[in-house]
Amino acid sequence: MTSETACRTAYDPFARGRFPVGVRTVELADEARECVFPCEIWYPAAAEFAGRDLAPQTCDIFTAGSRPPQRQRAVRDAAAEPGTRPLVVFSHACLFHRRSASYLCTHLASHGYAVAAMDHSEAVSPLLAGRPGDTPEQKAARIDGIVRSRVPDVRLLLDRVLGGAAPGIAADPARIGIVGHSLGGWTALAAPDSDPRIGAVVALAPGGSSRRRAGILPLELEFRWGRDVPTLYLVAENDAALPLDGMYELCERTPATRRMAILRRADHGHFFDEAEREHEAFRGAPMPPELTDMQREMRPFAELCPAEQAHRFTAGLALCHMDAWLREDLRAREFWRGDWAGELARRGVEILAPLG
């Protein structure tokens, strides 16, 4: 395909891709840290599974902690479509889990990516679990341990997936991206400091700004990348936890090709699978004093944009960023040069004036 032909070919990152999606759970043992990490792998499935990933009777159902069972648009343990795939790591928010954004991971897999996500250390290590009666010093040490574990977790995940931890799913070591939400967004921005394999970043409402609210994890970013790691910030206009002034700060500090899209009438929880449930659960839960101001500022979900609009925004733009930089897809690059805010508006998604 010539460059001219590629640019003329219809490109729609918001539509589901041509592949059915498979999903597989593997366990990654880290002897040095005495932990076993559950890891989810999403991937393009063989053609015989077409439609079974979308049908309620045959798609995967999973549970996470005490949350209700949830369907995802993938077939459990389906045979993989042959081929070597770009690899995208997903890093979840603190106190969440590897499948907290299955809408995003399955969307990427339907377009030919292998996607890997692990339950991070704070979800599996007894040493990082909170205990009743912890002193402020013990709590601070635990938080420091959670933060320090994040990038080593990502390195472990990359090492093992590239080393064949998921037989039959071949990932290309030269085409690796990372997406993360909240603390996972900080993880995505911190990982390129020490891991040169990462070639593209999507940060969903990331932590790490100096303009930190009370009760938010004390995260810092050095941005010691030493190379261009193209970065896309996808953030929420009404984020009570990580407000926009901090998002502008991080974007301006990013030492690479960068852009930011701000979803109108959205809060921090809009990037989760069950956006309304998670938003309202936080808004109504008993909170320590340092979080009550934040909680009071959260608007009822009914006053915000619908979850499906947030998911369309996140999945479509994240895919387009990875296509542009990991695949060097000329159609994706042309999309970014065009009126992509208008493309979102035509799909019912409203953003503020884009940056970059």
Amino acid at site 230: P
Judge whether 354 lies within some domain.
Answer: no
Supply the pLDDT for residue 136.
86
Supply the pLDDT for residue 133.
80
> How many angstroms separate the CA atoms of 192 and 2, rounded?
33
Judge whether 152 lies within some domain.
Answer: yes
Supply the pLDDT for residue 143.
92
For residue 329, give the DSSP letter.
-
Closest listed residue to residue 221, CA positions, set 251, 243, 242, 181: 251
Supply the pLDDT for residue 348.
95
Judge whether 214 lies within some domain.
Answer: yes
Tally the domains of the chain: 1
Judge whether 352 lies within some domain.
Answer: no
Supply the pLDDT for residue 255.
97
Supply the pLDDT for residue 134.
85
Tell me which residue has tokens 């910030």.
Answer: 233
Judge whether 351 lies within some domain.
Answer: no
Dihedral (CA of 195, 193, 240, 305) sign: negative
The domain of 248 spans 3-346
Amino acid at site 30: D
| Structural tokens at position 220 | 């810092």
pTM of the model: 0.95
Supply the pLDDT for residue 9.
65
Weakly modelled stretches of the chain, pLDDT under 70:
1-9
Judge whether 353 lies within some domain.
Answer: no
Judge whether 355 lies within some domain.
Answer: no
Instruction: Give the domain CATH number at 75.
Output: 3.40.50.1820
Judge whether 287 lies within some domain.
Answer: yes
Phi–psi pair at 72, nearest 5 degrees = -130, 155
For residue 47, give the DSSP letter.
G
| Structural tokens at position 9 | 């070919």
Supply the pLDDT for residue 2.
40
CA–chain centroid gap for 251, Å, is 17
Residue 302, H or E segment: none
3-state secondary structure 106-127: HHHHHCCCEEEEECCHHHHCHH
CA–chain centroid gap for 324, Å, is 17
